[in-house]
Amino acid sequence: MANNIDFQSGPRIPLTMLSEDEGLFRESCRSFAERRIKPLVRKMDDEARLERSIIPELFDLGMMGIHVPELYGGGGGSFFMSVLAVEEISRVDASFGVFIDVQNTLVNNAVMRWATEEQKRSHLARLTKGTVGAYALSEAGSGSDAFALACRASDQGDHFLLNGRKLWITNAAEADLFIVFANVSPEQGYKGITAFLVERNFPGFTVGKKEDKLGIRASSTCELILEDCRVPRSNVLGEIGKGYKIAIETLNEGRIGIGAQMVGIAQGSWEYGAAYSKERKAFGKPLAEFQAIQFQLAETATRIEAARLMVYNAARLKDAGQDFLKEAAMAKYFCSEVAEHVTSLVVEIYGGYGYTKDYPAEKYFRDSKIGKIYEGTSHMQLQTIAKYLLK
């Protein structure tokens, strides 16, 4: 069965695109995904939960603090290397792909950029050694309109009391540290939004229902409930009233990670489809010998390569300190389109088997859909792109 094929080669990336260290890191991520995660993928999807025993191994391998400076316990790598890890893990399992993506491109990024030195030394040391983080912005009434927050923070002097609910929070079931956005001054609109570092054990904080999802089922997506949750003033991330700036700038970086996740999904799905086309026979010969199938595989492989280059370009720009917002939006938009297109086509290559859980095609298809929704819908990406083009 194609489901059992073990791919060792993967996409042929030009040597000039990856340094030696990046190439070795990429191969180590791929090897780990094949060896440890791949045998558990179906079980995790069926049970809708991550295999907890894998999480400490991710920390031990440095995948949860890839571009955190060594001073704070991280790997001292680049943002680009974080993108490579997300792509390679997602090629095997998108749920673990987004697990490390949120940790690296959202949580670690926000703390590195906005935290005080004391907060960095305290929290980054934990986030690189065993503490899972989550990023809590979305609410029932604030999705694309991210700043229509109903969550409130009441200033009590030495602490704040947070009240409200957060929805669709990735990694919530596993996390012990949450970056929670709440409005300190609702009358000021988005200018009152503030980011807080909230510990799981803070009184008044509860992780609620886990969503039963179409795709990335093993990834936890939960509601957060804050009822007079007491947060010390020292746990404000950045400045009071600057939460909107933290959210926007962090999500811009996070979108590159989602693009990488979509590239990984598309690549993994394509590899299974190509292998199956060589095994399955029709009219006395393998499907791969029919020009229609050859053209479909060639066309989708070309789209995947274009998507990959867009992600890599955005990540390189970010590492170089150059403007990357348009490129990040383009990558996120295009990669989610490619992932949905490729995975849908692979289901069709499998035929009736593609519609069953006996083969991996349907899972890749289900996992791809989220790419057009979270961390900014495709329509929001197009709006961002248009603004930059029409300046």
pLDDT, one tens digit per residue, over 241-268 is 999 999 999 999 999 999 999 999 999 9
C-beta separation of 55 from 219 below 8 A: no
pLDDT reported for residue 14? 53
Q: Which residue has the tokens 């990984």?
A: 264
pTM for the complete prediction?
0.95
For residue 185, count other CB atoms closer than 10 A to its CB.
15
pLDDT band at residue 147 using 50, 70 and 90 as cut-offs: confident
Give residue-wise pLDDT tens across range 23-40. Answer: 999 999 999 999 999 999
| The CATH number of domain 2-127, selected from 3.30.360.10, 1.10.540.10, 3.40.190.10, 3.30.930.10 | 1.10.540.10
For residue 321, count other CB atoms closer than 10 A to its CB.
7
pLDDT reported for residue 391? 87
SS3 137: coil
Residue 362 bears catalytic tag: no
Per-position DSSP letters for 306-367, written without gaps between them: HHHHHHHHHHHHHHTT---HHHHHHHHHHHHHHHHHHHHHHHHHHGGGGGSTTSTHHHHHHH
pLDDT reported for residue 12? 56
φ/ψ of residue 193, rounded to 5: -70, 135
Catalytic residue among 87, 253, 271, 375: 375
Q: Which residues, in sequence order, are CB contacts of 154 under 8 Å at separation 6+?
A: 160, 161, 162, 163, 184
Q: What percent of the chain has pLDDT over 70?
A: 96
Rounded to the nearest 10 degrees, what angle do helices 79-92 and 20-32 cross at?
A: 30
Distance CA 216, CA 222 (A): 13
Report whether pLDDT(3) > 70.
Answer: no
C-alpha distances in Å from residue 265, one per residue of 43, 215, 356, 364: 18, 12, 18, 6
Report whether pLDDT(146) > 90.
Answer: no
Q: Which residue has the tokens 């029409």?
A: 390
CATH 2.40.50.140 is held by the domain 245-389: no
pLDDT reported for residue 183? 97
Q: Which residues, in sequence order, are CB contacts of 140 under 8 Å at separation 6+?
A: 150, 165, 167
Give residue-wise pLDDT tens across range 262-321. Answer: 999 999 999 999 999 999 999 999 999 999 999 999 999 999 999 999 999 999 999 999
Per CATH, which fold does 133-242 belong to? Butyryl-CoA Dehydrogenase, subunit A; domain 2 (2.40.110)
Please report, in angstroms and rounded to a whole number, the separation of the first and last CA atoms in the chain: 53
Distance CA 281, CA 286 (A): 4
Beta-strand pair 177-183/133-136:
parallel
The domains of the chain are located at: 2-127, 133-242, 245-389
Q: Across the chain, where does the E strand assignment appear?
A: 133-136, 152-155, 159-170, 177-183, 193-199, 205-210, 221-232, 236-237, 281-282, 285-286
pLDDT reported for residue 10? 52
Give residue-wise pLDDT tens across range 77-91. Answer: 999 999 999 999 999
